[in-house]
Chains A and B, each alone.
Chain A
Amino acid sequence: MKNILFLLFLILILQSGLKAQVAVIVNKSVPQDTIKKTELLDFFTGDIKEWPDGKPVIVKELKAKSKVREAFYDYIGKNPSRMKSIWLKKMLSGEGDPPESITDDTAMVKKIETTPGAIGFVAKDKVSDGVKVLLFIQKD
């Protein structure tokens, strides 16, 4: 019995290690507590540039090609390179610049904390109290 429990525990640990758990975070000024997938996609493609209260949406993305990044883009159904194409097109047609790329999760959290209207994503365990979590994304 003990052995089985131990085995289950081991499996849980291993699974949590393998799983990429992503948190969609926003600056605390953002006037909403949840977010739908379509909204997320619209913000990240730049199709919607304002929050419901009229404040501009500032999108931040992770630069490093990590599991977290992969999990996030998977969730919104866009491959990162396609996302870049979209941004590139918007940039060339003058519709807006691509989001700022943040080097790592810690910097990302800090950036979101300090930028009003900012939205980004980090690994779940990197989330601090200074930000608001709108959504957890879990990927096997």
Chain B
Amino acid sequence: MRFIDLKLNTKQMAVFGIILFLMAVANFFTIRKMQTIQKEINEVSTNWLPRAIAISEISRNISDLRINQLQHAITTHEEKRQSRTVAIIDLIDRINENLSTYEMLKKASEAQQLYSETEQKFYEAFDGTWEDYQDISFTFFALARENRNTEAINLLNEDALLIYDECSNHLAALVRINEEDSKAAAQRAEKTNHATKKFSTTLLLASIIISLLLSGVLVRYITNPILDLEKAAKKVAGGDLDIRLNLTGKDEIGNMAQSFDKMTASLKEARANAEQQANKLRAQNKELANAMRELRETQDQLLMKEKMASLGNLVAGVAHEINNPIGSINATTDITIRCIKKIEDEIKKSESIEALSSNKDFKKYFRILKENTEVSLAGGERIATIVKSLKNFSRLDQSEYQKANIHEGLDSSVTLLDNEFQNRITVCKKYGDIPDIICYPGQLNQVFLNILQNASSAIKDSGTVEIKTSKENSHIHIDIVDDGKGIAQNEIKELFNFKFSSKGSRIKMSSGLSSAYNIIQKHEGEIKINSELGKGTTVSIILPIK
């Protein structure tokens, strides 16, 4: 398990744990050392010092005792002697108290092994001399009682003095020993204190240095990766998807960094895919545009073909229309020629104008001629009409926006379809009072022709096509009604769609109404179809008056 693989909180806990441990160790040692110092101070204050005090007290008490004894010996005054005695008894009590104190302290010190053999030896020696001094005191007080004062004083100044000196020396030695011991303890305490200070300082410094190092480690393993991550994130935000953190740690940051790398890689891949898709889409769009263009071209071609085809039909029809009157003209002309020859013959044969005028044959031929000429005239007129219609209709290819009479357009369209209608279809015109409108007349004619052609093909045998015009507010209405087979409801909306169907060898628009729809749209008008199967179809065109 590497350090870098530890979870963040574990890492932090480990580092702070180490720091805390160091602190705890430092504290522990300091406290231990302080305890040692405290112990040494306690030793001084509970052992040597009180013992030294007790001994000093004893020393003073004994010295007082001796002084009182001297005074007791010197005075002969009974009251004074009595007061000395009281003082001496008091001193003995005090000495005993102090000795008890000392022995109690001694016992306590012995339990702590703080009572030296030397002190014991000196104390025993003192005890011995103190006993001796008391022994001498018995003698002294016995002498004093018998008023043998001189002897008593001599005893006090000679034998007793020697013992007293010895006793004092022992006490002094005891005080010295205690002083020395307490001094030594104080020195030890001082030394320990010094060592502790040094040790604590060193440990504190070490703790600080180790803490700093550990903080550095934390920074290295936590803060730096986060900063790297932030930098990388900024770069990614700026569009650089090639950046990788490549952190291998298994902690949260490591996981995050790996996720980040994965994310960046995915992002890059996604972007590449998107680009690819976009390119593909662009290519497809281009293809689609091409296809659309081709389609439009094909459509245009088809429209042209359709136009040419209807023009062909039209031309054929028109030719037929023209051919009829020409045929009749030719026929009548032949008859006319023959009539004229017969009339010439009759003129040559007759002797007078009167005879001629009464000649029945001449009259017959002349009537025929007259009739024939009328027929020729009618044929000519018919041709003239057709040509006029043709001329009118030829606006088909004019795209000029101009004022035009809708009725004229309707008439020419009907005329052009005369051949198709023949005797099969009766055209019933119910023209209302409508004004001329500004339009593309040729294009509107094409629409009319288209609708009329459709009506013609919808009527199987014979039928009626009704053309009604009317004005309503600012619009004109043109209704073309046939009584043909009708269109199914669901097919009506398909009528305006542009589609192809192949019928035999000829490609034909299923309905020319899609171009009709476009043209009416161009005129900001409306085209509607109402139809019922078996009953017929009504195509309504509404155009604005401009």
Contact = CB atoms under 8 A, between A and B. Distances in A.
Interface in B73-90: 85, 88-89
B137 A82 contact: no
Given A82-B96, A82-B99, A93-B89, A88 B137 contact: yes
B128 A88 contact: no
Contacts of B127: 79, 81
Centre residue among A80, A87, A88 by max chain B CB count within 10 A:
A88
B69 to A, nearest CB: 11
B130 interface: yes
A88 B85 contact: no
A80 B141 contact: no
B138 A87 contact: yes
Contacts of A87: 134, 138
A134 B117 CA distance: 37
Contacts of B89: 89, 92-93
Nearest to A93: B89
A85 B135 CA distance: 9
B131 interface: yes
Pick the most buried of A79, A82, A97: most chain B CB atoms within 10 A of its CB: A82
A101 B134 CA distance: 13
A2 to B, nearest CB: 40
A19 interface: no
A81 B138 contact: no
B95 interface: yes
Nearest to B138: A98
A16 to B, nearest CB: 25
A79 B93 CA distance: 15
A65 B93 CA distance: 24
Contacts of A93: 85, 89
A85 B96 contact: yes
B439 to A, nearest CB: 153
A91 B141 contact: yes
B92 interface: yes
A80 B88 CA distance: 19
Contacts of A80: 131
A55 interface: no
Given A89-B92, A92-B85, A92-B89, A81 B137 contact: no
Contacts of A82: 96, 99
Interface string B121-158: 00000011011001101100110000000000000000
Contacts of B142: 97
Contacts of A81: 127-128, 130-131, 134
B134 A65 contact: no
Interface string A33-74: 000000000000000000000000000000001000000000
A53 to B, nearest CB: 29
B88 A84 contact: no
A116 to B, nearest CB: 24
A46 to B, nearest CB: 13
B135 A84 contact: yes
Given A89-B92, A91-B141, A84 B85 contact: no
22 contacts: A79-B127, A80-B131, A81-B127, A81-B130, A81-B134, A82-B96, A84-B134, A84-B135, A84-B138, A85-B92, A85-B96, A87-B134, A88-B92, A88-B137, A88-B138, A89-B92, A92-B92, A93-B85, A93-B89, A97-B138, A98-B138, A101-B135
Interface of A: 65, 79-82, 84-85, 87-89, 91-93, 97-98, 101
Closest 5 pairs (CB-CB, A-B):
A84-B134, A81-B131, A81-B130, A92-B85, A81-B127
Given A81-B127, A82-B96, A88-B134, 13 more contacts: A65-B131, A81-B130, A81-B131, A81-B134, A84-B134, A85-B134, A87-B134, A87-B138, A88-B92, A88-B141, A91-B138, A92-B85, A92-B141
